């Protein structure tokens, strides 16, 4: 793994070098940061904590056109994905989430949309020096400088960014931009490790997941679900903003006589998520839905892919309008075990 240094003042040039590619980076919209395509000639600022909306849309768009069609024997048109994309500045937790989600999209059959996008995308992460108040990535197998899921990791060393390639794609990106880069010495890497260590120290909140994946199914009828879900509004904030939530719905939409089939994010917290045509809903209340959300992340996914589908980014807890706190919920689960 090669490590390079990029002087901060060269950051705009670095971004410029990538011209021709679709660049995704955090964009400020008031205090609501989100990942979005960067306009040409703009260098994204990287001094942010984390975006409200995770970057998962770069690989798994909120709405994706699968194909277009016209009724009654007209043509069907499948969009071809060709555009190379670089996602800049995603946090290690979000990158880890992509690695976790990829397990599903590449499970028994490859999901062509996700796979193709991942092929075309280079993920450039940014290590966290200042974790947020509800961050708990170390508790769930991550860390402020985790490289899992990334092609390249950047770290903010004050004057410089340290760039470490994780994959060949990352290497390629370094090659592409080598004119702007300097070889990084051992000191730089040590400096990064020091910062990461400090960052880990700053993470105050923790979750103890021991026994949780095995224990959760046994809590099916536990009163804790009623308690946790009583105040739930049934909105999609926690799931839409969760980097590992990947549920989607497929619908046909019409525009006059033309139509398209598209898939779009769905949320298991919505009542119609499990609604049957008959009107029967096997998850009739927020209690079952909340139970499912937690169980899916902390038990079912572990069962299937051997990893907790929560990366400890803290978004659901930060943004839940009624303070449903996943850290607290897991604590209650532990207690009930």
Summarize as ranges the residues that interact with other proteins (CB under 8 A).
29-32, 34, 52-53, 62-63, 65, 68, 71-72, 77, 133-134, 204-205, 227, 230-231, 233-237, 240-241, 249, 251, 253-260, 262, 264-265, 267, 270-272, 279, 284-286, 317, 319, 321-325, 327-328
CB count in 10 Å sphere of residue 129: 17
Q: What minimum distance in Å lies between the beta carbon of 97 and other proteins?
A: 17
Q: Between 29 and 182, whose beta carbon lies closer to other proteins?
A: 29
Q: Between 114 and 240, whose beta carbon lies closer to other proteins?
A: 240
User: What are the DSSP calls for 76-140, one per residue?
Assistant: EEPPPP---EEEEEE-HHHHHHHHHHHHHHTSSS--HHHHHHHHHEEEEEE--SS--TT--GGGG
CB count in 10 Å sphere of residue 230: 12
Q: What minimum distance in Å lies between the beta carbon of 175 and other proteins?
A: 36
Burial class, 173, CB count within 10 angstroms (exposed 0-12 / middle 13-18 / buried 19+): buried
Q: What minimum distance in Å lies between the beta carbon of 2 and other proteins?
A: 38
Reading the block at residue 83, the tokens are 């555009």
Q: Between 41 and 256, whose beta carbon lies closer to other proteins?
A: 256
Sorted by sequence, the CB contacts under 8 Å of residue 133 that are 6+ apart come out as 204, 205, 314
Q: Between 65 and 115, whose beta carbon lies closer to other proteins?
A: 65
Q: What minimum distance in Å lies between the beta carbon of 117 and other proteins?
A: 17
Q: Between 155 and 324, whose beta carbon lies closer to other proteins?
A: 324
Q: Between 210 and 271, whose beta carbon lies closer to other proteins?
A: 271
Q: What minimum distance in Å lies between the beta carbon of 238 and other proteins?
A: 9
For residues 248 and 263, give the distance between their C-alpha atoms in angstroms, rounded to a whole number.
6
Q: What minimum distance in Å lies between the beta carbon of 124 and other proteins?
A: 24
> Using an 8 Å Cβ cutoff, are 162 and 7 in contact?
no
For residues 210 and 221, give the distance between their C-alpha atoms in angstroms, rounded to a whole number.
21
């Amino acid at each position: 793994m090669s490590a390079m240094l990029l002087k901060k003042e060269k950051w705009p040039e670095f971004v410029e070098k990538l011209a021709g590619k679709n660049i995704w980076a955090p964009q400020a919209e008031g205090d609501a940061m989100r990942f979005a395509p960067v306009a040409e000639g703009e260098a994204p600022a990287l001094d942010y904590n984390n975006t409200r909306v995770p970057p998962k849309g770069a690989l798994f768009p909120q709405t994706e056109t699968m194909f277009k069609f016209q009724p009654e024997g007209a043509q069907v048109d499948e969009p071809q994905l060709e555009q190379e994309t670089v996602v800049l500045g995603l946090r290690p937790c979000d990158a880890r989430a992509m690695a976790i989600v990829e397990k599903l999209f590449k499970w028994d059959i490859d999901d062509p949309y996700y796979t193709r996008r991942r092929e075309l995308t280079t993920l450039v992460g940014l290590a966290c020096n200042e974790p947020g108040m509800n961050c708990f990535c170390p508790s769930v197998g991550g860390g402020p400088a985790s490289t899992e899921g990334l092609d390249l990791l950047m770290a903010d060393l004050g004057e410089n960014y340290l760039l470490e390639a994780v994959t060949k794609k990352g290497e390629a990106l370094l090659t592409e931009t080598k004119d702007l880069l300097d070889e990084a010495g051992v000191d730089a890497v040590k400096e990064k490790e020091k910062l990461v260590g400090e960052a880990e120290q700053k993470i105050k909140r923790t979750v103890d997941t021991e026994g949780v994946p095995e224990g959760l199914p046994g809590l099916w009828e536990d009163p804790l679900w009623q308690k946790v879900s009583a105040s739930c509004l049934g909105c999609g904030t926690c799931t839409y903003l969760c980097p590992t939530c990947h549920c989607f719905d497929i619908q046909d939409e019409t525009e006059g006589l033309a139509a398209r089939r598209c898939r779009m994010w769905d949320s298991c917290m919505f009542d119609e998520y499990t609604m049957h045509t008959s009107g029967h809903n096997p998850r009739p209340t927020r209690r079952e839905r909340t139970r499912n959300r937690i169980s899916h992340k902390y038990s079912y996914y572990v069962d299937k892919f051997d990893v907790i589908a929560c990366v400890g980014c803290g978004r659901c807890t930060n943004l839940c309008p009624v303070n449903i706190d996943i850290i607290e919920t897991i604590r209650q689960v532990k207690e009930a075990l």
